[in-house]
Amino acid sequence: MELPFTGFELTFIIVAFFIFSLFSLASVFFRPQESHPDEGVCEEKKPRRLDRKHRVIMKHAAQRPC
């Protein structure tokens, strides 16, 4: 039975998987530096008037602006 990949291809696949795994683990264990860690993602802001274009966009996105 013959292998479906050559040695070079197999090496490339293993290295790519290792790098992907390394970046995945790094994204889980390291957080980006936050300027204000005590504030939430969506702060309560004073409501502002939206022009027609933004109202249509928000309506189609079916979400409320932060």
Tens-place pLDDT, residues 17-65 = 999 999 999 988 887 665 555 555 555 666 777 788 887 787 777 655 5
User: In this structure, are residues 58 and 64 in contact, taking their beta carbons and an 8 Å threshold?
Assistant: yes
42 compared with 9, residue with greater pLDDT: 9
Q: Which pLDDT belongs to residue 13?
A: 95
pLDDT of residue 63: 57
* Residue 13 neighbours by CB under 8 Å, 6+ apart: 5
Q: Dihedral sign, CA of 7, 13, 19, 25?
A: negative
Distances (CA, A) of 61 to 6, 56, 65: 48, 8, 10
